Amino acid sequence: MMLDFSEAERDGMSAEDYLGKNPKKIMKEILKGAPRSSIKESLLTPILVLAVLRYYQLLSDFSKGPLLTVNLLTFLGQLLIFLIGFGLVATILRRSLVQDSPKMKIGTYIVVGTIVLLVVLGYVGMASFIQEGAFYIPAPWDSLSVFTISLVIGIWNWKEAVFRPFVSMIIAHLVVGSLLRYYEWMGISNVFLTKVIPLAVLFIGIFVLFRGFKKIKWSEV
């Protein structure tokens, strides 16, 4: 019914034309009767989003140098920000379904956009504000853990055509991280080996990434 209402709204019909003289009351009754997602489902989405972001951050840190740092307090702070932000956005969007005024809808979009911006800023800035709780993962456990997680993520990405191009960046970061650790172990400090080659590998990964997106048949996705 909500999809039918959206199509009617695009055709120029107001909520009153579609639902009658008291659309807000009818919409509220519809929303009350609609099945609500469980707490588990509501928490799963922001946790999955944060897990993916943290994985790529971990992969980036792995490719920057021989020492891998993990901060659990930063992760918990970012998780709290994501849960609060996701809950606020979901609540606001749910209540906005009964709004018929264009001004109210514009206001809703502004509020949601502001919340999303604050969540992004909080996610980025959390690492700068929280320095306690950081610890280093010693070799070879850093490489073993990152490679294991990357294998799982890579297989999952490869199964989905939309995410398949990201496998190239995963491989590129793993190669760079492994090279830097090998150079550190061998005591190699040559600029060409430690700077130029890692950058070249990352650029190749980016090139393959964009090539992969161009090959996707979006009409079939």
Residues 91-106: tens digit of each pLDDT: 887 777 656 667 777 8
Cis, bond preceding 23 (omega within 30 deg of 0): no
What does the pLDDT read at residue 39?
56
What is the enclosing helix (H) or strand (E) of 157? helix 141-159
**CA separation for the pair 116, 122 (Å, rounded):** 10
Cα–Cα separations (whole angstroms), residue 73 to 57, 85, 119, 128? 15, 18, 17, 12
Q: What is the pTM of this model?
A: 0.65
Cα–Cα separations (whole angstroms), residue 214 to 174, 207, 211? 24, 11, 5
* Residue partners of 115: CB distance under 8 A and separation at least 6: 85, 88, 89, 92
**The one-letter amino acid at 202:** L
**What residue spans define the domains of the chain?**
16-135, 139-220
> Which residue is it, tokens 């800023």?
121
Residues of the chain above pLDDT 70, percent? 74
**CA separation for the pair 144, 8 (Å, rounded):** 55
DSSP type of residue 194: I
Point out the residues of the chain with pLDDT beneath 70. Answer: 1-43, 97-101, 130-133, 218-221
